[in-house]
Structure 1
Amino acid sequence: MSARWRRAPAVVTAIALLVGAPALAGATAGATAAVGPADVRTAAANQEGRLELTSVAPVAPRPTGRITVRGNLVNPGGDAFSDISVGLRVSTAPLTSRGDLAAIAAGSDDRRSMRTVPGATRIPGEVTSGRVSPWQVSVPAKALRLPGNGVYVLEIRATGRIGNGELRELSTLTTFLPFLPNAEGYSPTKLTWIWPLVGTPARDAHGVFLPGTSNAELLPGGRLADLAVAPGQVPVTWMVDPELLESAAALSADHERQEGRGTTAEEGDPAAGRWLAELKARLANTPVAALPYADPDVVALTRHGDPGALERAVARSKEVTGARLGRESDTTVAWPADGFADAKTLGALRRAGAKTVVLSSSALMLASERTYTPTGRARIESDDGSLEVLVADQGLIDTLSVDFGAPGAAALAAQRFLAETALITLERPNAARTILVAPPRRWAPPAGWSAALLDAVERTPWVRTVGLASLSRTRVPTEYAGATLVYPQSATAAELAAAQVARMGQAGAAAEGLVRLFARPGGLETTYTGALLSSVSTAWRTNRSGGRDYALAVSDRISSDIDQVQVIGRDLVTLSSTRGTIPLTVSNQLDQAIRVRPVLRPRVGSRLSVTNPDLITIGAGRKQTVRVPAEASSNGITQVDVQLLDATGMPFGDTTQLRVNVTSFGKVGLIVLIAAGSVLFGTAILRNVRRLRRPAA
């Protein structure tokens, strides 16, 4: 849960500017801000500056308008910068492919022809060591002399002096400028969104919250709170992890949290309750698909031997979404982690009820090369029949998967996203296509960024947003008709390890034996299932040590619970006759009633026979003693094995041994005892009579 409730980094200013907010106050003034010590140390050796982009406006430039670029100049350390000028350069020709765009974004040395745009801005004064100065360059769109519709490379250059040195280049930053003013020259691309609301496992096998977790992601501005409100009226299809809904509900009520070796009680969190209530209202009339409970790594489960867990996770998903959202969500849409799955996994998904699967475009190999992006629709044959495939564009996934914590990364990602969609449209301007956008599962953009991006997309003429149903109704394009499934080595490396799945299987087998004892379903049975599925959550793909620790903790908790049900009592029981009873005490220290049947098995049946009792019910935290009738045929000690059975007759726990000592004398012994007693009694009488006669004589 520490990852789940982590607050996303806030770069609100950059996002506001992305959608055309007013310029920063004093952007061209000499006001500066401090840079952290780490930045100073990093750049102390080269004394060069760093440019950061905060916005490019407007989203869709017009030939008669202006283009305004804003950002910051950072002096990471060393001598002061002076005589600073920030200007623009633009490519003389548009990009011709998304491959070129990706290469430039990755930092390749691009040799295309560039033109300097008149209208550079100056930063007065100095930017001293460790300071940040905002800048703004605003020029008429016609000054760029763009030849027509296209995506252009936009370069920002800062020049100045370092100390008393000569005028030189301080820093260069490259981004992209989509320019498509002639809307009659193309048909807009349709975009459809999957909107993930997925968390990280937060509770143990008893439903107790893990230490160090908080509600930060549910507070206004937190990751989950921000994603929940971002779409507004944009028709996205929500992909929700039911475990997140259940954890929010548990957090909103009185609950327990681990503290040291024990737990501490906490009052319900109102923020969690509000988040859940508002989400329920927001999703009331919206398409919602549900992941299997706790978002287990379905590929790892299938490839490493426990595909049955997937069916349990889907069943639990239906139950939880129905309870928390007031309606059962669609579980027929499957979304393997990162959009990759092998044929065996697709078969398992099909058997678990999936009819449609979301895969990355990199997971499908086309029969022939293509120079454009086809509609994201395909069909794949699995072991158990065909599956409809919704193809998520990998280029857009990569664009949304950047490290948003890096300075200026948010604005660069926004510009690249707009440029990618513009290029998709221009690849085949007269052939409208539908493209699926599937952000990373635990997407963590800065607060406000995703809402601003959706708003920007809505205001571009080259894209319009449609629901997922629109893509589902689209015919499979010829480009994907002969596509084959690809499962690369990188996907194999990303899976949870086989040992992690094995830990879940072992703990699950142990828990299953204990669950069979429960007098009523629910309670620990429910929390066990949730924790076991959480132990193989995709959240642990990027936190292997955390996943291992979580799985071991779940296993230890279940083992501890098993030890709470046991037979207690004496090691040696004595029978003073051939018939008697053997007392047994069964202890149940669980918080749940159990039904159990103690069974005694003498190792030498010819010496001792017993009549075992029927099932008994033992309340939570109680002990119960039963007396087992026994009959011995000879004297001596007999070893007896004691085993607890559940209602189905399956053994539970380890066998306990006790000894039964039979001390019966038999008929001969009884006669001898009576005779000896008579002699002793007669002798005593005789001695007393003689003692009385002596005084008389």
Structure 2
Amino acid sequence: MIRKVSLLAVLSAALLAPMAATTPSTAATKTPGAAAGKASRQSMDVSITSITPDTPSSLTTQIKIAGVVRNDTAEAMTSLRVRLRYSAQKFTDRAIMSAYQTDQNPATLPSQVSTRTPVSFMDIPALEAGASKTFELLATPVQLGLPSFGVYPIAVDVARFDVPIVTQRTYLTYAPPTPQKLPRNRLAIALPIIDQTHRAENDNFVDDKLGAQLTGKGRLAELAGIAATAPKSVTWFVDPALLDDAQALSRKHRLKSKDQAADPNATTWLDSLRTALADSPVVATPYADPDVAALAHQGLDGQTGKAIEMGRQIATELLKRDVPLTTNWPVGGVLDPDALDLLNVAKVDRVLLNSTNLPPQPPVAFTPDAVTTLDAVEGPVTALVADAELTRTFEPDSSAPGSVFLNKQRFIAETAMIAAEPGQTNPRSLVIAPSRRWDPNPKLVNSLLKTANRLPWLTLTQLGLLKPSKASVPRAALTYTDQDRKDELSAKYLGPLKKVAEKAQLTALIADEPKLHSDFDAAVLRLASSSWRNNTRAGRAATKLVEGAVQAQTNKISITGADPDRPRTLAGSNGQVPISVKNSIGETVALYIDVKSNNPGLLQIDTTQSKKLLTIPNDQNGGVQVPMNATTSGDATVSVQLMTRNGLPYGKPVKLTIRTTGYTGIALVIVGAALAVMLAAVVTRVLRRRSQRRLARAAKSRESETV
């Protein structure tokens, strides 16, 4: 934070100058990265804008320190002096150096104050309200009493009557030849091109924020510009889903289901990024940068493998080059053994981690080598640990005056301190990895990359070339805190997503030739993106859009005439009822039709037909005749469920009403009765004829006897 003194304090200090001259505790100090770019109306400000050269190399090298003093008070200020404060006592370790930069106590400022004129201080007789004045201070290492290679505290203050009003702290790295050659440490810089997920399903965007980032001073446009000029040793992590989003934006698309014209800037950005990364090492994240730890903990293990496979395919297609995914950078740079094993099973053998996730054990007083080895389920995994302080120099609050210069000085000082740490004679590996959705200051990043490329104690190295070495130190097990677990996408968020994923997979399994991936795989992976961690409300809205699209696709295969209020008639106690299926999904499907009676006491089903695979071309109907047997007349219901070839239910079951008439049984009774009547009549006739014949024979016999 930059502290500034009010006009009242300045005037009071002037009046009390004789007493205050020996008590510098009234001075205000400033730190780089502080949110002090917006000066209050009652303050003074001093900013250092350059030190030339930034690493003086001899006792007589002239050092030029330039900057600006600004009067943001409401009145003119008089009798001001800009002074250089310095110390011949160099920092002994990085922790003390870091503490100096953030300290607000004037007592910790360098004690020596320049008194040589005209080069080591500058008087400003008067500075009007709202006015500013540049300054330039000159000195040499011998004048500053610098004894040897190292990082020294310096500061510039503005004083009135020798009472400091405001101060800016920084570092001076003195780099003369050393008796013992400094180790040339390997520095790998990993820069992310990763963004918030912008789409739900296919061409349907959930927001209109992507286009603005692809042009002018948009974040993604500036990242492409940095990539175009960066050293070819810088490693870039690219989310294939971002490339995919940009390509979708370059065509006709929808925004919350409303038609939109193609955005030509998306094509331009893709082309420029492809050119910028053509000769640089590129690593793809799994598609949509999923929250791997959350997937491992919530039973969605299979999504990680899909994301890696799809990420490789999309990145290779859109960047027009081979892009590996064997290195993974988990969200926040932290993972636990479950997530590590999940990645390892998917052929990941290198991970980029935060230093808090894998601290040295026991703690060490020097900077440990960035490379170590972890044990995972499929074998050893190389862990690359980013240095927190070095990383911080790439992503400061750039609104602070002079932040670009001050962070460059901090970067130089940090790397010099590491090179000069006692007892460390072997080169070590160092890693810088800014947060994945950073908003870079191009001027700062370009300055740091150029500086890193020329410092004699650094060698810029591709991340993929770093390997464990003799300088590696033991590290603790993966440290995954309760807060890390809370930061994950929750079970409440992922529960609906899991159901959507299962339904989406069915649309692939129902195909005549079953597919491993559905048309909704990419949409499901976008819902699992770590970018929803801080925006779950928008993520849930996107989930509902995808769920609706999956259901609409599922409904394109349906049972025709499925109206429970319009019963189907079974004429008689047994017979066949037709079940028909309409296919409008866009390809040939193969399925089973499973029919079950909901009233088995009234209606029984012959399940033979449900065991036959039914193939239905697109835009056609197919069906089966299902044998049924009714024990009595009346209405009964059956449940009809479409099934995939591997026995999974497709869509919701449909209820049909079957009305049985019993006509066949009644007919048999009638026919039987009629046959009985006919038989009785025949028998009666036969008996009558026999009786008549007997009577005739008897009469004839009597006649014969009479004669």
TM bracket, shorter-chain basis: 0.7 to 0.9
What is the match of residue 356 of structure 2?
A: 362
Structure 2 counterpart SS, 1:443: coil
Structure 2 counterpart SS, 1:640: strand
Q: How many residues align?
A: 621
Displacement, 1:102?
1.9
Structure 2 counterpart SS, 1:196: strand
What is the match of residue 505 of structure 1?
A: 498
Query: Residues 231 and 449 of structure 2 are in contact (CA less than 8 Å); yes or no, is this contact kept in structure 1?
Result: no
What is the match of residue 456 of structure 1?
A: 451
Q: d(CA) in 1 for partners of 2:575 and 2:540?
A: 52
2:375 is equivalent to residue 381 of structure 1:
yes
What is the match of residue 137 of structure 1?
A: 136
Displacement, 1:495?
3.2
Query: What letter is aligned with 2:90?
Result: P
Displacement, 1:657?
1.1
Alpha-carbon spacing, 1:625–1:486, altered in 2? closer, same or farther (3 Å):
closer
Structure 1 counterpart SS, 2:524: helix
1:255-301 C-alpha deviation (Å, 9 max, x unpaired) = 31324xx321322x333223323433444443322222111122222
Q: Percent identity?
A: 27
Query: Residues 292 and 314 of structure 1 are in contact (CA less than 8 Å); yes or no, is this contact kept in structure 2?
Result: yes
1:342-396 C-alpha deviation (Å, 9 max, x unpaired) = 2232222222212222223333343444222132221222344322222222221
Displacement, 1:659?
1.0
Q: d(CA) in 2 for partners of 1:632 and 1:78?
A: 99
Which moved further from structure 2: 289-298 or 552-561? 552-561
Give the alignment's TM-score, normalised by structure 2. Answer: 0.77
Q: d(CA) in 2 for partners of 1:156 and 1:91?
A: 12
Structure 2 counterpart SS, 1:496: coil
1:432-479 C-alpha deviation (Å, 9 max, x unpaired) = 32212222222321133212210122222232212234422x5253x5
2:524 is equivalent to residue 532 of structure 1:
yes
Q: Which runs of 5+ in 2 are unaligned?
A: 1-34, 675-707
Q: Which runs of 5+ in 1 are unaligned?
A: 1-37, 161-165, 677-697
Query: Residues 613 and 645 of structure 2 are in contact (CA less than 8 Å); yes or no, is this contact kept in structure 1?
Result: no
Query: Residues 591 and 614 of structure 2 are in contact (CA less than 8 Å); yes or no, is this contact kept in structure 1?
Result: yes
Query: Residues 293 and 314 of structure 1 are in contact (CA less than 8 Å); yes or no, is this contact kept in structure 2?
Result: yes
Q: d(CA) in 2 for partners of 1:585 and 1:69?
A: 86
What is the match of residue 8 of structure 1?
A: none
Query: What letter is aligned with 1:133?
Result: S
Q: 2:112 aligned to 111, 115, 134, which one?
A: 115
Alpha-carbon spacing, 1:65–1:513, altered in 2? closer, same or farther (3 Å):
same
1:296-345 C-alpha deviation (Å, 9 max, x unpaired) = 12222223433332222212222222222334322222222233222232
Larger Rg: 2
1:165-192 C-alpha deviation (Å, 9 max, x unpaired) = x885442222222221326652332212
Alpha-carbon spacing, 1:402–1:504, altered in 2? closer, same or farther (3 Å):
farther
Query: What letter is aligned with 2:150?
Result: G
Which runs of structure 2 are paired with 1:468-483 in the superposition (5 Å)? 468-472=463-467, 474-477=468-471, 480-481=473-474, 483=476
Alpha-carbon spacing, 1:555–1:84, altered in 2? closer, same or farther (3 Å):
farther
Q: 1:195 aligned to 169, 191, 194, which one?
A: 191
What is the match of residue 577 of structure 1?
A: 571
Alpha-carbon spacing, 1:57–1:663, altered in 2? closer, same or farther (3 Å):
farther
2:92 is equivalent to residue 96 of structure 1:
yes
Structure 1 counterpart SS, 2:153: strand
What is the match of residue 429 of structure 2?
A: 434
What is the match of residue 635 of structure 1?
A: 633
Alpha-carbon spacing, 1:398–1:286, altered in 2? closer, same or farther (3 Å):
closer
Which moved further from structure 2: 539-548 or 195-204? 539-548
Q: 1:216 aligned to 200, 212, 216, which one?
A: 212
Query: Residues 640 and 657 of structure 1 are in contact (CA less than 8 Å); yes or no, is this contact kept in structure 2?
Result: yes
Alpha-carbon spacing, 1:406–1:654, altered in 2? closer, same or farther (3 Å):
farther
Query: Residues 60 and 461 of structure 1 are in contact (CA less than 8 Å); yes or no, is this contact kept in structure 2?
Result: no
Query: What letter is aligned with 1:258?
Result: L
2:239 is equivalent to residue 241 of structure 1:
yes
1:50-79 C-alpha deviation (Å, 9 max, x unpaired) = 344444443323444443444454555644
Displacement, 1:139?
1.4
Query: Residues 211 and 257 of structure 1 are in contact (CA less than 8 Å); yes or no, is this contact kept in structure 2?
Result: no
Query: What letter is aligned with 1:602?
Result: S
Structure 2 counterpart SS, 1:525: coil
Query: What letter is aligned with 1:120?
Result: F
Structure 2 counterpart SS, 1:448: helix
1:212-265 C-alpha deviation (Å, 9 max, x unpaired) = 22323333543333333435334122222221222222223x131324xx3213
Query: What letter is aligned with 2:347?
Result: G
Alpha-carbon spacing, 1:83–1:228, altered in 2? closer, same or farther (3 Å):
same
Q: d(CA) in 1 for partners of 2:496 and 2:403?
A: 39
Structure 1 counterpart SS, 2:221: helix
Query: What letter is aligned with 2:243?
Result: L
Displacement, 1:425?
0.9
Q: d(CA) in 2 for partners of 1:274 and 1:544?
A: 31
Displacement, 1:587?
5.6
Alpha-carbon spacing, 1:344–1:663, altered in 2? closer, same or farther (3 Å):
closer
Q: d(CA) in 1 for partners of 2:270 and 2:555?
A: 37
What is the match of residue 24 of structure 1?
A: none
Alpha-carbon spacing, 1:609–1:363, altered in 2? closer, same or farther (3 Å):
closer
Q: d(CA) in 2 for partners of 1:153 and 1:94?
A: 7
What is the match of residue 257 of structure 1?
A: 254
Structure 1 counterpart SS, 2:190: strand
Query: Residues 355 and 388 of structure 2 are in contact (CA less than 8 Å); yes or no, is this contact kept in structure 1?
Result: yes
Which moved further from structure 2: 600-609 or 300-309? 600-609
Q: d(CA) in 2 for partners of 1:383 and 1:524?
A: 26
Q: d(CA) in 2 for partners of 1:274 and 1:251?
A: 11
Displacement, 1:586?
4.6
What is the match of residue 650 of structure 1?
A: 648
Query: Residues 189 and 435 of structure 1 are in contact (CA less than 8 Å); yes or no, is this contact kept in structure 2?
Result: yes
Displacement, 1:514?
3.5
Query: What letter is aligned with 1:149?
Result: F
What is the match of residue 325 of structure 1?
A: 319
Query: What letter is aligned with 2:429?
Result: T
Displacement, 1:203?
0.9
Alpha-carbon spacing, 1:265–1:228, altered in 2? closer, same or farther (3 Å):
closer
Q: d(CA) in 2 for partners of 1:170 and 1:523?
A: 70
What is the match of residue 31 of structure 1?
A: none
Displacement, 1:658?
1.7
What is the match of residue 659 of structure 1?
A: 657
Q: 1:486 aligned to 479, 483, 489, which one?
A: 479
What is the match of residue 415 of structure 1?
A: 409
Query: Residues 191 and 237 of structure 2 are in contact (CA less than 8 Å); yes or no, is this contact kept in structure 1?
Result: yes
Alpha-carbon spacing, 1:159–1:585, altered in 2? closer, same or farther (3 Å):
farther
Alpha-carbon spacing, 1:351–1:607, altered in 2? closer, same or farther (3 Å):
closer
Q: d(CA) in 1 for partners of 2:559 and 2:447?
A: 64
Which runs of structure 2 are paired with 1:255-334 in the superposition (5 Å)? 255-259=252-256, 262-267=257-262, 269-334=263-328
